[in-house]
Amino acid sequence: MVYAVQGTGQSSPDADPSKDAGFLSQVLHPAITAARGDMDRAYVPYDAGFGGAVAGGKVPYEQSVQGAVAKTLSWIKDKAAACPDTKFGLVGYSQGAHVTRIVLNDIVGGKAAIGADKLALLANLGDPGRPEGAPLFPGKPGQTSPDPVPGTSGANVSKVVAVSTTNAPGGGIAPVGDVEDTSYQAIAGRYLSACTPGDLACDAPANAPLARLVTNIAGQSELNPDDPIGSLSTIAEALALTAVKTAVPVVNEDVQASENNLESLSYQPRQTLSERLAVASDPRTPLPSVQDALSAVIKVGTIGFNAVKTVVQTVATPGTIAAIATAGAANPLAIVGILGAKLGQAAVTLVPPATQERLVSEAFTAFKSEFQANSDLFKVSSLLKYWDAAKQHASYSEVSATPTGQPPTKLIGDWIVAAARDIAGKDGGSSNSPDSGSGGGGDFSWLFGDGSAGSSTLPSLTTTSLPPSAATSEPQYPWELDTSSPSAPSETAPSASSPVPQTTPPGGTSGLPPFLSGASQ
């Protein structure tokens, strides 16, 4: 059973799960046609409108992803309960690939109704959760064919071959927690993540946490052009929560004041501020605990109290008070000068020149670290690479992914059918292959003139109508390349002048129409 999750704008809560439409229909429609009953498929319906920015729903991206994850896990649970021996496949594109990546994490983490051994394959296109610099099969660098489905020989999937290409150097634009999650290693070899270089969804700059910050904030926002006030309120809420989740760890971990005063104050960040913001902007990052928040407040409050105390001790001396009293009687404006001088002395006491120099140096170091952490945002090469990111994101039905030049959509379709045949025990060319004489749809050898024996009754032939958008010819799959089998289908359709086979069908020619029996017209 294959569950497919479409990309942004290609699904909706009321979408028909059985209708081949959207980008992933280019994978599954040819596959289910070629599989000949060995598999089934369904498209997961969900809000895919990116907060109302496009058609498909008005739910913010992050909520729509979690909704699709819940729907997919629910379907898997129901199917596994009804058919315990079912093997599952997951296919995702763009936002849908983010969904399937999280579903994989949940399966491996024991949060789903099935274990990793029941997951036959996971194939993603433009995956926002793609690990940084990952090969086509993450966790299996250099591998060009999928691993067998657990419990199968892998005879068919071994014939599915991808071309070895240079890995896109970046990683997915999803929150850091999803990109860095290593759960996929449990099915390494059965997880494919196709990424065209320059596709920002899966090849975001490695050194650009600010880009992930912007994406995370947008993913929590409603972007409805018909309700700008509502959209702004969701953006403001996301920013406010991000600020809180960033400020507390910065104060507790990065700001140091050994003597709880401004003189000993220093900034020693364990992470750059942009990296902290990128993590904090993930809506799944929890808010600081009450204890952490109180610790930060007390720390800042203590430093502030000590600063006020220093000012009071410097300014409110008996001599200063006497001078102010004398000046107030004779020249009230002189009070300003007296207080100004004393406040200046207090400032020097609070932050001595040595401390000022240190803070300036630390500020420069922090700025340098921020620039380095986001260096890919400022490279001309990066700007040129991503100038046509939208085109690259939709390239998976065009770019070459196999030695024969077939695109990733075809590669994945071949893989799905091959896995289905392996699960069904149809080990390419063996006696239980659907193209063989036994058990796979009848013996047609007599019709092609090779003299083979066959059944005494005619098989029932059926045809399948394809939608106008589908290819009009059967795709060529790797396991069909072996023409040594006596049941290999003819590659050339007979013409009106083609000779009628001269061999006799099983049971003789009685009862056959003249054009099949060879009788003269």
Measured between alpha carbons, how far is 440 from 424 in angstroms, rounded to an integer? Answer: 11
- % pLDDT > 90, the chain: 34
How high is the pLDDT of residue 472?
35
Which has the closest alpha carbon to 73: 49, 96, 50, 102?
Answer: 102
In whole angstroms, how far apart are CA 86 and each of 115, 156, 269? 12, 18, 50
Q: Please report which confidence band the pLDDT of residue 55 belongs to, taking 50, 70 and 90 as the band edges.
A: low
pLDDT tens column, 169-206? 888 888 878 888 899 999 999 999 999 988 888 988 77
How high is the pLDDT of residue 450?
37
Q: 42-51, 132-141, 260-269, 432-441: which range is least confident on average? A: 432-441
Measured between alpha carbons, how far is 203 from 173 in angstroms, rounded to an integer? Answer: 7
**Whether the predicted pLDDT of 103 surpasses 90:** yes
How high is the pLDDT of residue 176?
79
How high is the pLDDT of residue 70?
96
**Whether the predicted pLDDT of 213 surpasses 70:** no
Q: What average pLDDT does this structure show over 293-316? A: 59
Which has the closest alpha carbon to 445: 435, 433, 431?
Answer: 435
Q: 39-53, 272-286, 423-437: which range is least confident on average? A: 423-437
**Whether the predicted pLDDT of 71 surpasses 60:** yes
- Which range of 233-242, 454-463, 510-519 scores highest in mean pLDDT? It is 233-242
**Whether the predicted pLDDT of 321 surpasses 70:** no
Query: Which phi and psi (to 5°) does residue 371 adopt?
Result: -65, -45
Q: What average pLDDT does this structure show over 76-98? A: 96
pLDDT tens column, 270-284? 766 666 666 666 655
Q: What are the structure tokens assigned to 147, written together?
A: 């691993």
pTM of the predicted model over 0.75: no
Q: 311-350: string of b/e by CB count within 10 Å (b at 16+)?
A: beebbeeeebeebbeebeeeeeeeeeebeeebeeebbebb
Measured between alpha carbons, how far is 221 from 198 in angstroms, rounded to an integer? Answer: 25
Q: 421-456: string of b/e by CB count within 10 Å (b at 16+)?
A: bbbbebbbbeeebbbbbeeebbbbbbbbeeebebee
How high is the pLDDT of residue 61?
79
Edge-first strand order for the sheet with 119-125 is: 41-43, 2-5, 88-93, 119-125, 191-194
How high is the pLDDT of residue 391?
79
How high is the pLDDT of residue 203?
87
pLDDT tens column, 438-481? 333 333 332 333 333 333 333 333 333 334 344 333 444 444 44
Q: Which domains does the chain have, with CATH numbers?
A: 2-206+386-420 (3.40.50.1820), 228-373 (no CATH)
How high is the pLDDT of residue 212?
59
**Number of separate helices (H) and strands (E) present in the chain:** 15, 7
In whole angstroms, how far apart are CA 127 and each of 88, 95, 394? 19, 7, 12
pLDDT tens column, 322-350? 555 565 555 566 555 655 555 555 554 55
Q: What average pLDDT does this structure show over 2-17? A: 92
C-beta of residue 437 within 8 angstroms of C-beta of residue 445: yes
